[in-house]
């Protein structure tokens, strides 16, 4: 593709010594048209690479990504000419967003930039093609989607330890490449005027990096008491189930016993920790399985929720081009994701669906992304994003909060909603995912920010990783770890370079959004029982916020939907208030919290 600079578009003789607003507007219009084309090409290449993992597709994706990064970097440099110009607010915001648009800033040196993009593609491909081969007793090697199922269903602690250890080997070969990736990305960030890549990421929230870090900690302190009660209760029940395999002198929980490869969500062990005298509720996984619900039907349930709110059906191309099940003939990156290929109507999902309650929820979450894409598609290109990245993640989760018994009854999946006495079991099942996730959602980027800033050196990558996991989550590795391991690489978002604070924010935002939409729907009962399914009033309010895209600072978008202009965990606490009271009763004779060992890599039970 021919790269045309602004000076080529506007010859120097036509450019005034003192730039004007008209020139700035002309620059931005042409820049956005070019970025739209480059970004779409990069998206198409990435789609092919993740669906057909070969050396060729990896190289093509790297080349297109490099092309987009290179031109964006050049445009940021050219835009500096307008830095001191007084502009209308919307135009000034576009210039700001241009500068912050790269999650992987790259050096201006073409050789180094090419090296960075090749490393990035190779890290993502290493994860996508990663396997654990159990041994001669099993002929099949297991990818992460198969391992997810086994971790969820397994109840033999020795087998769980093998699965955990086997998958985490995928990270070790990435270690040196990742260290070089950090070095090159930081160089790109410094050339754009930021101290490092982490500081650049934190600048994307309409506040300073320091203010953003402090605000995340403020939110964590709001929710930490609830997490501590949940941790204490789950720890006791796991010890009752597994005995010595779960009991540690320091009070932490072995990471392989929580039903998830990364111990980030614990809902899969609900059967172990369910209240002893809980009334019968329903098993959504069994219901979906008994109905022979296929991948397309799973997605149609999610689509129908959005159309019940007044949104349009998904484009025909969505069904023609999405990947909903793992192919039999090739490796693909199965990590669930939503795609905006042409930044217009070509939206897609890429996931390998299983007929489970978790994937039923995942579908609603991922479709939230696609409907957000469709809502802001008519805005200028740099405004075609969510108010901040936490908003994008929160939308689908807000919908998923409406997957209540009454909703399931309305759509014919259950015949009768459980009685009010079932509220605690349902809230506990929800909290095992949403509350358990909070410290994990916070620490992923805390680790990366420390790595990018140089506070954590490559020689201490794993030590720092486990220090944060133990401090915030109170979980420990099931076996000794060392710096020969690179456990961060076993989590998709690290090799894929996807910022993670968005997921923590989404866990807070979604309850703010949910309460506001329930109020719009006229609901006035206990918050956790609300479903705004079929409420056109709620849909209209949601749509008005989605259509803003990134055109306004995120507090404006927050206020449009909720009436508040800052993040607040109060609605989350309100939602789980009955559960918190119950957990405190269960934990009356238990010691909450845990102690932190001096060496997190070699702590003994």
Contact (Cβ atoms closer than 8 angstroms) between residue 481 and residue 487: yes
Tokens of 460: 């201490």
Task: Exactly one of 227, 472, 500, 503 is catalytic; name it.
Answer: 503
* Positions of E strands within 298-429: 337-340, 347-350
Which ranges of 192-208 would DSSP assign to H, the alpha helix? Answer: 197-202
What is the rounded (10 degree) CA torsion for 409, 411, 415, 417?
-10
Facing residues of 476 across strands? Answer: 254
From the candidates 365, 509, 528, 576, give the one annotated as an active-site residue: 365
- 210 assigned to active site: no
- Cα gap 507→511, rounded to integer Å: 7
- Those residues whose C-beta lies under 8 Å from the C-beta of residue 557, and which sit 6 or more positions away, are 387, 391, 545, 548
Q: How far is CA 357 from CA 101, 321, 361, in A?
A: 35, 24, 6
Annotated catalytic residue within 45, 132, 229, 335: 335
* Catalytic residue status for 547: no
Query: Burial, 136: exposed, middle or buried (Cβ in 10 Å; 0-12, 13-18, 19+)?
Result: exposed
365 counts as catalytic: yes
Inter-residue contact 528 to 582 (CB < 8 Å): no
Nearest to 502 by CA among 367, 364, 341, 389: 389
Q: Output the CA torsion sign for 197, 202, 205, 208.
A: negative
**Rounded distance between C-alpha atoms, residue 223 and residue 508, angstroms:** 9
Tokens of 551: 């055109």
393 catalytically annotated? yes
Q: CB of 79 within 8 A of CB of 47?
A: no
What is the spatial distance between Cα 400 and Cα 396, in angstroms, rounded to a whole number? Answer: 6
Catalytic residue, chosen from 336, 417, 422, 592, is: 336
Cβ partners under 8 Å of residue 8, min gap 6: none
Which residue, among 529, 503, 512, has the nearest Cα to 436 in the 3D structure?
503
Question: What is the DSSP secondary structure assignment for residue 473, as one 8-state letter?
Answer: I
Catalytic residue among 231, 354, 369, 392: 369
Residue 187 backbone phi and psi in degrees, to 5: -60, -40
Residue 394 sits at the vertex; the CA angle it makes with 267 and 509, to the nearest 5 degrees, is 100
Q: Is 493 a catalytic residue?
A: yes
**Distance separating alpha carbons of residues 428 and 132, to the nearest angstrom:** 32
Catalytically annotated residue among 49, 366, 450, 470: 366
Eight-state DSSP code of residue 172: G
Q: Which has the closest alpha carbon to 28: 107, 117, 92?
A: 92
454 vs 179, 217, 450, 460, 566, CA distance in Å? Answer: 11, 21, 6, 11, 31
Three-state SS at 339 = strand
66 classed as catalytic: no
Catalytically active residues, by annotation: 335-336, 365-366, 369, 393, 493, 503
């Amino acid at each position: 593709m021919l790269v045309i600079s602004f000076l080529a578009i506007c010859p120097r003789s036509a450019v005034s010594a003192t730039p004007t607003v008209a020139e700035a507007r002309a620059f931005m219009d042409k820049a956005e048209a070019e970025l739209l084309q480059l970004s779409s090409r990069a998206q198409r290449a990435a789609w092919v690479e993740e669906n057909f993992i070969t050396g060729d597709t990896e190289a093509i994706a790297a080349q297109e990504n490099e092309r987009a990064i290179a031109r964006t970097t050049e445009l940021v440099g050219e835009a500096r000419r307008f830095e001191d110009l007084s502009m209308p607010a919307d135009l000034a915001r576009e210039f700001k967003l241009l500068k912050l648009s790269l999650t992987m800033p790259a050096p201006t040196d073409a050789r180094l930039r090419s090296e960075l993009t090749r490393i990035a593609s190779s890290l993502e491909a290493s994860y996508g093609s990663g396997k654990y081969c159990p041994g001669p007793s099993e002929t099949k090697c297991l990818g992460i989607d198969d391992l997810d199922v086994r971790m969820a269903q397994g109840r033999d602690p020795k087998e769980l330890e093998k699965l955990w250890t086997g998958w985490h080997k995928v990270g070790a070969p990435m270690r040196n490449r990742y260290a070089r990736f950090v070095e090159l990305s930081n160089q790109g960030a410094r050339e754009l005027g930021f101290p490092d890549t982490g500081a650049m990421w934190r600048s994307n929230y309409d506040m300073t990096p320091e203010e953003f870090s402090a605000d995340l900690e403020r939110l964590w302190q709001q929710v930490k008491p609830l997490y501590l009660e949940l941790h204490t209760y789950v720890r006791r029940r796991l010890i009752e189930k597994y005995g010595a395999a779960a009991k540690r002198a320091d009070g932490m929980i072995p990471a392989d016993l929580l039903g998830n490869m990364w111990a980030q969500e614990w809902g899969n062990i609900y059967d172990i920790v369910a209240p002893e005298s809980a009334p019968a509720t329903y098993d959504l996984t069994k219901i979906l399985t008994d109905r022979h619900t296929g991948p397309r039907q799973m997605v149609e349930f999610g689509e129908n929720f959005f159309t019940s709110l007044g949104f349009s059906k998904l484009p025909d191309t969505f069904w023609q081009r999405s990947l909903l099940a793992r192919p039999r003939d090739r490796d693909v990156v199965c990590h669930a994701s939503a795609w905006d290929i042409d930044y217009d109507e070509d939206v897609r999902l890429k996931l390998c669906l299983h007929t489970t309650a978790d994937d039923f929820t995942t579908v609603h979450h991922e479709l939230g992304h696609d409907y957000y894409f469709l809502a802001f598609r008519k805005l200028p290109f740099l405004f075609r994003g969510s108010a901040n990245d936490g908003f994008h993640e929160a939308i689908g989760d807000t919908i998923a909060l409406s997957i209540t018994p009454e909703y399931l009854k309305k759509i014919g999946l259950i015949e009768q909603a459980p009685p009010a006495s079932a509220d605690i079991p349902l809230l506990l099942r929800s909290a095992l995912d949403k509350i358990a996730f909070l410290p994990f959602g916070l620490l992923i980027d805390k680790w990366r920010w420390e790595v990018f800033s140089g506070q954590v050196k490559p020689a201490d990558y794993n030590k720092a990783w486990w220090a944060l996991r133990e401090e915030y989550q109170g979980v420990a590795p099931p076996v000794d770890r060392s710096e020969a391991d690179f456990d961060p690489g076993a989590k998709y978002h690290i090799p894929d370079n996807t910022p993670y604070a968005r997921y923590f924010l989404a866990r807070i935002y979604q309850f703010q959004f949910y309460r506001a939409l329930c109020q719009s729907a006229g609901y006035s009962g206990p918050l956790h029982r609300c479903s705004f399914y079929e409420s056109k009033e709620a849909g209209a309010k949601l749509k008005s916020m989605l259509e803003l895209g990134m055109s306004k600072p995120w507090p404006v978008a927050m206020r449009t939907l909720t009436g508040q202009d800052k993040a607040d965990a109060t609605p989350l606490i309100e939602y789980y208030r009955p559960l918190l009271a119950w957990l405190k009763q269960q934990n009356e004779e238990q010691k909450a919290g845990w102690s932190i060992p001096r060496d997190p890599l070699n702590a003994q039970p």
